[in-house]
């Protein structure tokens, strides 16, 4: 199996295994494909358990980024399904990853903050409850 095809297959399997939130890591090392940044299912992945206090402002920015990332992920998945070849699919995954990073920054966070809040949401029931409440409010305001 060729390297681009193998990379595409591995990316698709990873995406399915970690839907809807996956860890987001800095993709600074050459030769490595950028990891996906997506909302995760409860219990999926191994996020570091962190002991941080997340204030309402940070959590609101996280909710905004979370929703934007979910929309980007859906759009990217649709576009990848329609890709003509693995090179195009790889390009679309990279483009989606870049859009997700931009969404985090546009929400007023950096990737490290996003990951910390994601870890706190997963590890702390109170933070998770606050997140779910803010997410429901955000979604009702959007419609």
pLDDT of res. 142? 79
Q: Are 113 and 126 in contact (CB under 8 A)?
A: no
Q: Are 70 and 22 in contact (CB under 8 A)?
A: no
What is the rounded average pLDDT of the residues 42-48?
47
Q: Give the separation between CA 68 and CA 88, rounded to whole angstroms.
A: 23
- Angle in degrees, 0-180, between the axes of helices 56-81 and 86-106, rounded to the nearest 10: 160
Q: Looking at the predicted structure, is the pLDDT value of residue 35 above 80?
A: no
DSSP string, 15-29: HHHT-SEE------S
The partner residues of 39 in beta bridges, in order of sequence, read 21
End-to-end CA distance of the chain: 45
DSSP string, 59-113: HHHHHHHHHHHHHHHHHHHHHHHT-SSHHHHHHHHHHHHHHHHHHHHHTT--HHH
Q: Looking at the predicted structure, is the pLDDT value of residue 123 above 60?
A: yes
Q: Residues 109, 115, 118, CA angle at the centre, nearest 5°?
A: 105
Percentage with pLDDT > 70 across the chain: 64
């Amino acid at each position: 199996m060729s390297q681009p095809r193998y990379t595409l297959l591995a990316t698709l399997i990873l995406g399915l295994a970690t839907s809807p939130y996956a860890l987001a890591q800095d993709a600074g090392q050459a030769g490595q494909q950028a990891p996906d940044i997506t909302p995760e299912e409860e219990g999926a992945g191994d996020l570091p358990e962190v002991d941080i206090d997340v204030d309402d402002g940070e959590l609101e920015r996280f909710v905004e980024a979370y929703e934007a990332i979910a929309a980007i992920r859906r759009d990217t998945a649709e576009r990848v399904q329609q890709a003509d070849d693995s090179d195009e699919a790889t390009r679309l995954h990279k483009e989606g990853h870049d859009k997700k990073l931009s969404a985090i920054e546009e929400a007023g966070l950096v990737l490290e903050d996003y990951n910390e809040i994601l870890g706190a949401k997963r590890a702390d029931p109170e933070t998770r409850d606050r997140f779910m409440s803010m997410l429901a409010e955000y979604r009702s305001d959007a419609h």
